[in-house]
């Protein structure tokens, strides 16, 4: 009997497999070779970014002593740290609140959360800019009316970047913590309630230790996304300058080894935090049974609470 029409032969399957492997290799090379070139040329001893004349760390020293770079770095670290704290608190709180919501409400909230993640950054940046400018234009006359002398003038700045970054990074924290929370063994909470532990103590000694790796991972990811964000910060930073914005402005004047050094530092920070966050998320995937009675120390009826 003849083979079925349209059924790939062993030779055809081998060719398809090789073609897909080759495509994957080319795609990864296209992504990572330019990054490798930037890292290599950041150690260039010459003054031109495209002319590798020797090995030197002079451009890292030049960037470290550049007051504009240090100011931009300080702004980026402040914005990223504030964003990470706010996004972690709000994202974790919303994930916990979703557990008690009804099915339809929880499903709708999850869809909105995913939309906040997948919306392009330029859309978030433009929308945030229009919203903030409109709100400030409405509030400033009222502030002037209520406080004729010394009324604050609201405008774009680091605070507006923090607010905008918090909005989309808290969605990331919500997804990470919510995934970990749904994987938790509910019998642990039920056992704690059966032993007459208060809801507050159940949270801190049963739920929170279980969620801690995911909470830290979400906070690190929020810090990373905020630290290396350019598009949203470009629209909402106003006169304040973050490190990615400074790097963009310096590249417009011409690519120098100093710009490569700054980009390498940004890359190193981003990769380092992503690796740590990935390890924490992987640690959070261990079976829920790791949260044992030693973790959930709840008193028996009539038994005094053990000191922790």
> Mean of the pLDDT values across residues 166-192?
85
When pLDDT is cut at 50, 70 and 90, the band that residue 172 belongs to is very high
> Mean of the pLDDT values across residues 70-96?
92
Distance separating alpha carbons of residues 232 and 225, to the nearest angstrom: 11
> Mean of the pLDDT values across residues 88-98?
90
183: nearest Cα among 285, 106, 104: 285
Structural domain span for residue 101: 68-290
Distance separating alpha carbons of residues 207 and 181, to the nearest angstrom: 8
When pLDDT is cut at 50, 70 and 90, the band that residue 286 belongs to is very low
pLDDT, residue 185, reads 76
143 belongs to a structural domain: yes
- What are the CA-CA distances from residue 32 to residues 35, 38, 55, 72 (Å)? 5, 10, 21, 26
Distance separating alpha carbons of residues 236 and 243, to the nearest angstrom: 14
Q: Of residues 55 and 9, which shows the higher confidence score?
A: 55
6 belongs to a structural domain: no
Q: What angle do CA 272, 275, 279 make, to 5 degrees?
A: 140
Distance separating alpha carbons of residues 57 and 63, to the nearest angstrom: 10
30 belongs to a structural domain: no
**Mean pLDDT score across all residues of the chain:** 81
246 belongs to a structural domain: yes
pLDDT, residue 223, reads 92
pLDDT, residue 283, reads 67
pLDDT, residue 306, reads 44
Helical segments of the chain, H only = 10-41, 58-64, 67-99, 103-118, 121-146, 158-182, 186-194, 199-202, 208-227, 231-236, 243-252, 257-283
212 belongs to a structural domain: yes
42 belongs to a structural domain: no
16 belongs to a structural domain: no
Residue 284 burial (CB count, 10 A):
20
Question: Could you tell me the CATH number of the domain that includes residue 168?
Answer: 1.10.3720.10
Look at the chain and count its residues: 308
| DSSP letters for 55-69 | B--HHHHHHHT-HHH
Q: In this model, does residue 10 exceed pLDDT 90?
A: no
Distance separating alpha carbons of residues 48 and 89, to the nearest angstrom: 45
| Percentage of the residues of the chain whose pLDDT score is greater than 90 | 23
> Mean of the pLDDT values across residues 76-92?
94
90 belongs to a structural domain: yes
pTM, to two decimals? 0.75
199-232 confidence digits (pLDDT tens): 788 878 888 888 888 898 899 889 989 998 999 9
> Mean of the pLDDT values across residues 298-307?
43
pLDDT, residue 128, reads 92
Number of domains in the chain: 1
> Mean of the pLDDT values across residues 92-110?
83
């Amino acid at each position: 009997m003849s083979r079925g029409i349209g059924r790939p032969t062993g030779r055809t399957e081998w060719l398809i497999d090789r073609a897909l492997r080759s495509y994957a290799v080319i795609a990864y090379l296209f992504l990572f070779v330019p990054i490798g070139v930037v890292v290599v040329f950041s150690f260039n001893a010459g003054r031109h970014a495209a002319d590798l004349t020797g090995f030197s760390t002079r451009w890292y020293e030049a960037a470290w002593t550049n007051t504009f770079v240090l100011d931009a770095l300080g702004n980026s670290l402040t914005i990223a740290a504030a964003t990470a704290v706010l996004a972690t608190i709000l994202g974790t709180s919303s994930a916990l609140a979703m557990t008690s919501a009804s099915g339809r409400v929880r499903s709708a909230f999850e869809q909105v959360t995913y939309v906040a993640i997948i919306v392009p950054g330029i859309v978030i940046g433009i929308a945030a800019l229009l919203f903030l400018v409109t709100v400030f234009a409405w509030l400033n006359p009222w502030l002037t009316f209520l406080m004729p002398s010394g009324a604050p003038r609201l405008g774009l700045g680091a605070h507006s970047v923090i607010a905008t970054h918090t909005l989309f990074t808290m969605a990331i924290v919500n997804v990470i913590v919510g995934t970990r929370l749904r994987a938790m063994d509910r019998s642990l909470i039920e056992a704690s309630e059966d032993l007459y532990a208060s809801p507050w103590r159940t949270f801190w000694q049963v739920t929170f230790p279980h969620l801690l790796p995911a909470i830290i991972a979400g906070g690190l990811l929020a810090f990373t996304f905020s630290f290396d964000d350019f598009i949203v910060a470009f629209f909402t930073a106003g006169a304040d300058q973050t490190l990615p914005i400074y790097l963009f402005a310096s590249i417009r004047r011409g690519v120098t080894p100093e710009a490569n050094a700054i980009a390498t530092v940004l890359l190193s920070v981003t990769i380092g935090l992503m690796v740590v966050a990935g390890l924490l998320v992987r640690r959070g995937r261990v079976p829920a049974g790791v949260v044992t009675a030693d973790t959930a120390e709840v008193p028996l009826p009539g038994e005094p609470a053990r000191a922790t």
